[in-house]
Amino acid sequence: MATVEQAQTTTDSGAPTVDVFCPADGRLVGSVPDMGAPEVEQIAAQLRAAQPAWEAIGPEGRARHMLAWLDWIFDNEDRILELVQQESGKSYGDTKIEILATAEVINYYAKHAGEFLADQHPRPHELASSTKSLHLFRKPYQLVGEIFPWNYPLAMPMLDVPPALMAGAAVLSKPSEFTPLAWTECVRGWNEIAAPPVLGLANGAGAAGAAVIDVVDMIMFTGSTRTGRKIAVRAAERLIPAALELGGKDAMIVLDDADMERAVNGATWGGLFNAGQTCIAVERVYVEEPIYDEFVAKLTEKVSGLRTGMDAPGTYQSDLGSLATEAQLEIVERHVQDAKDRGARVLTGGKPTGQGLIYEPTVLVDVDHTMQCMTEETFGPTIPVMKVANEAEAIRLANDSPYGLNGSVYTGDNDRGIRVARQMETGGVSVNNAMMTLFQFPLPFGGWKESGIGGRFGGPAGLLKYCRQQSVTTERIKLASEIHWYPYTKRRGRVAAHLTRILGARGWRRRLGLKRKGSPE
Ligand code: NAD
């Protein structure tokens, strides 16, 4: 099989390109330019020139373009999904969900941006300010940079680009060099519908991403914690805001009163969807002792019945597909080997299928926190399951991680689920579900600890983070001067002091200045 790692080559004209290979069979499926800083700077300048008109048409005008783009995406769905499959090696079922996410995000922010961006006029907080009117305005950053990983070639950009565009910013997008094809096609679609030229594309490897950070006013990054740190450092040097959505090691807790079928099905899909290459995948499972044996038996049976492969579009003949890169396959193999070396047992799976970069769906037991599979992000089709004595031990182990992205709890009692959820150190928890918080758009989505800074998505905050806030005050009563302005006089000083006490102190004696220590009355 040809290597499926992305390779940098040049065109006949000498311009550098990145070749893209299908990880399920090693075929070369396309190539894109490998841009350097000068090209990125040129695109940024064009985007900045187009942004003021985009901001000026307001949320309703922008929503019309966004919805026309969504029409175009649906009209070209088959071709876009074929590109997603070819560059990622996914099963068709896993691929199809990317369109669902696309439609939901565009519709949500197209519908709500006007309400989220509306000017606000809060009431003054106390009597002395009652002569003022308060105004809160939002102004988008002119140019936002957005850098994406390879795990969802369409859905990752679609979580970030629609809210930034709807905020009124221009967006310079940078897809992963491993999976740039579907997104490149979508940006072409934006231009084909003749939308204003405010969506730019910087293709290429890490250097193109670094060039993006150097030309934008705000950066949204989704990817590994390792790269996220570099981005945070560069953003700090430039003093621009950075929102970082990084890695995870999400825990699933199964309590003794859980619905067994649902918990098993949730672990199977939550752990293996997209071959486990989801930041909020179930990466480790803690099961209370009384139900552990039954859970493991049912999970092993379910997982061993799954089908692997990159099936033909529309056939749904496979459940999970390929890992996206050779580096990813190496991590999965290393974690499974390390677990076995330390005494874990593989109940099903545990090796590559031999077809492309596809790895067998795997259940590991007798695992503990000395093993990489329980402490490092695997990002692969493995479900390590650990027996715990009780709820408290499950929570302690779930929190024993540098990551804090999401998690899940299965229980027959929602109150118990919420009680456990509130003790988990993660940005989100799904009770009796897998990865569900991400798809509830009114809720914010973001990681704690090393899983991120600044929040990625969801609700008003998911759009307003692309804006600066401007506070403006106006005067309701026209006075020649304010009591705290020059010149200072004894009389005005006394009046100001009395007012401060009357409005700010507690109890009538303090308010009237009758209760003081050691100062002359
Ligand atoms: P990665 O960090 O290797 O790359 C992500 C992007 O950053 C790519 O586009 C890459 O070209 C670019 N990049 C690399 N070096 C750069 C630099 N110095 N400056 C600017 N850009 C640079 O991540 P990946 O391997 O593509 O994706 C997998 C990781 O993404 C996993 O850790 C996963 O958990 C994480 N992820 C997180 C979320 C989330 O929402 N928290 C979602 C999806 C994936």
CA distance 389 to 290: 9
The fraction of the chain above a pLDDT of 90, given in percent, is: 93
Q: Whose CA is nearest to atom 19 of ligand 1?
A: 210
Give the per-residue pLDDT at 516: 74
For the stretch 385-437, pLDDT in tens is: 999 999 999 999 999 999 999 999 999 999 999 999 999 999 999 999 999 99
Which contiguous run of DSSP H or E holds residue 227? helix 225-238
Give the per-residue pLDDT at 7: 60
For the stretch 286-321, pLDDT in tens is: 999 999 999 999 999 999 999 999 999 999 999 999
The DSSP symbol for 120 reads B
| Pocket residue to mutate for ligand 1, from 222, 273, 278, 376, most atoms within 8 A of Cβ | 222
Separation of CA 325 and ligand 1 centre (Å): 13
The fraction of the chain above a pLDDT of 70, given in percent, is: 97
Q: Around 430, how many Cα atoms within 13 Å sit in the side-chain half-sphere?
A: 22
Q: What are the distances in angstroms from CA 428 to CA 15, 58, 223, 433, 448?
A: 44, 32, 18, 12, 9
Residues touching ligand 1 (Cβ under 6 Å) are 147-151, 156, 174, 176-177, 205-206, 209-210, 213, 222-224, 227, 230-231, 245-248, 279, 377, 379, 405, 447, 452, 456
Closest CA to 207 of 39, 42, 4: 39
Any idea which residues carry the catalytic annotation?
245, 279
Separation of CA 227 and ligand 1 centre (Å): 6
CA distance 417 to 254: 10
What confidence tier does 251 reach under pLDDT thresholds 50, 70, 90? very high
Which contiguous run of DSSP H or E holds residue 288? strand 282-288
CA distance 281 to 272: 7
Counting from 1 in the atom list of ligand 1, the atom nearest the Cα of 152 is 43
Examine the pLDDT at 6 and tell me if it is beyond 90.
Answer: no
Question: Euclidean distance between the first and final Cα of the chain, in Å?
Answer: 92
Counting from 1 in the atom list of ligand 1, the atom nearest the Cα of 175 is 9
Examine the pLDDT at 465 and tell me if it is beyond 50.
Answer: yes
Indicate the average pLDDT of the chain.
96
Give the per-residue pLDDT at 351: 98
Q: Which residues pair with 214 in a beta bridge?
A: none
Residues 6+ apart with CB under 8 A from 98: 81, 84, 152, 153, 154, 155, 158
For the stretch 336-345, pLDDT in tens is: 999 999 999 9
